[in-house]
A = this chain, B = another copy of it.
Amino acid sequence: MPNLPKAPTLNDVAREAKVSAATVSRFLNNPAVVAEETAVRIRAAIELTGYIPNALAGDLASNKSRMVAVLIPHLEHSLFNDMIERMVGEMTASGNNVMIGLTGTSRDRTDSLVRAALSRRVDAIISTGPASDLVDSMVSRSRTLFIQVWELPADPIGVAIGFSHVDAGRDIARFLASRGYQRPHVVTADSPRAQNRREGFFTEWQALGHAPPSESIVDMPTRFGHARRVFADIRRMDKRPDVVVCGSDHLAQGLIVEAQGAGLRVPDDLGVIGFGNNTIAGEMRPTITSVDVDGARIAREVMAAIACHQEGRKFPSRKVDVGFRLIARESV
């Protein structure tokens, strides 16, 4: 560490501009309130000293942080990157900084990331994962808003912005039935949300009078690389499936590649349906039928909730159902 002269403080700027620290602080946080001649001197002083406010001190004194934590399982192979990218963009634009935490599938890691976020007194924690009782108790003693996204728990800790995965599974079943498919093969990741979709699918499929589907289980996150094994599973069956229900568009893409590599045509010989409506879904050949979740809408709702919370108003609803849309393309 180079031993630098210590960083200039508000007082240094105040001295330089021949005003009090309070006035500099006002200039920084609410410029309208200081006289223009004063402002000119302060601007010059800031320029001269190269002053960068110490947000730690500011946040401590004002008891707010303008900082938000985002907790996701992974960065690689994530279904959420598009939504997260939008949220981070909007937060930054609205003057919030974002702290990121990768939880994996570990509850302990989630707990400790929540604790770290609370320790920094973030205004909000946005989480895509399930919350433990410990998280619930830590959060509810704090001023931090807990926002669960991409799902709708029965009783959210703070606010939830998402959709029903059971309904999504159900709608996929209806759609495939309407297209005349007979033997779906379902690929499910070992995650609560994927299990919900599976349940919705299985229930509806059988309610429609079909035999239970075959299935493969894969580890989290659902990805391209799983396709090889899943396809091998399928080839080994005596009653071959006619469509594969995937937990992500990347897995769907992988299955298309495998199927084509084996000389099958998609969708003629085998249908494939993805999930999440990643941009590649519309770019793959054949294009991939998928379920779209409006990440931009979720991001906006999240921002609205945070803004409410930061301004001390309370968010109108504790649950926002943003729904989903099944997008029919070529692969089914």
Copies of this chain, count = 2
Q: Is A11 an interface residue (CB 8 A)?
A: no
A32 at the interface (CB under 8 A from B): no
Size bracket, chain A contacts: 35 or more
Task: Among B4, B99, B119, B254, point to the contact of A52 (Cβ < 8 A).
Answer: B119
**Distance in Å from the Cβ of A29 to the closest Cβ of chain B?**
13
What B residues does A314 contact at CB under 8 A? Answer: 1
Known: A56-B60, A65-B56, A141-B7. A254 touches B225 (CB 8 A): no
Q: Is A115 an interface residue (CB 8 A)?
A: yes
Which of A142, A145, A314 gathers the greatest number of chain B CB atoms within 10 Å? A142
A138 CA / B46 CA spacing, docked (Å)? 13
Name the distance in Å between A83's Cβ and chain B's nearest Cβ: 10
> If the complex has contacts A50-B138, A116-B97, are A279 and B225 also in contact, measured as CB distance less than 8 A?
yes
Given A52-B142, A141-B50, A257-B284: A99 and B99 within 8 A (CB)? yes
Complex CA–CA separation, A254 to B141 (angstroms) = 50
Q: Does A16 contact B (CB under 8 A)?
A: no
> Which residues from chain B contact A264 at a C-beta distance below 8 Å?
none
On whether the beta carbons of B225 and A280 are closer than 8 Å, the reply is yes
Which residue of chain B has the shortest Cβ distance to A312 in the bound complex?
B1
Interface string of A107-149 (1 = CB under 8 A from B): 0010001011011110000000000000001100111010000
Q: Is A85 an interface residue, CB under 8 A from the partner?
A: yes
Across-interface contacts of A81 in B (CB, < 8 A) = 75-76
With beta carbons under 8 angstroms apart, the residue of B70, B88, B99, B102 that contacts A89 is: B102
Interface pairs (10), CB distance under 8 Å: A50-B138, A56-B59, A56-B121, A60-B60, A75-B85, A92-B109, A97-B99, A99-B100, A224-B283, A224-B284
